[in-house]
Amino acid sequence: MAHTLLDLQAFRERLLDARFQGIQSVTDQNGERIVYRSDAELSGAITALDREIAALQAGRKSAIVYINAHKGV
């Protein structure tokens, strides 16, 4: 399921709130509880969300490249 920009931004805010409060678990939009083992792991999740948000804001498409090669003969 593809997440919208608003979904990712909302989840990022919940992660930041949890991190600033010293909480290492959050519940996602599906009701699943996610427990982070350390602040570094939580920070990594926030960084990954930042990259996804930046990609969506830039309008970047998928990184699929199609190669069409021939011998030229």
Residue 13 lies in a domain: yes
Residue 22 lies in a domain: yes
Residue 16 lies in a domain: yes
Residue 12 lies in a domain: yes
What is the pLDDT tens value at each position of the chain, 73 positions in all? 567 888 899 999 999 999 999 888 888 878 889 888 898 999 999 999 999 999 888 876 556 666 666 676 6
pTM of the model: 0.69
Residue 66 lies in a domain: no
User: Which pLDDT does position 31 carry in this prediction?
Assistant: 86
In angstroms, the CA 52 to CA 66 distance is 23
User: Which pLDDT does position 1 carry in this prediction?
Assistant: 55
CB 67 within 8 A of CB 60: no
**DSSP state at residue 40:** H
How many domains, in total, are found in the chain?
1
Residue 25 lies in a domain: yes
Residue 73 lies in a domain: no
User: Which pLDDT does position 50 carry in this prediction?
Assistant: 93
Residue 64 lies in a domain: no
Domain range for 22 is 5-58
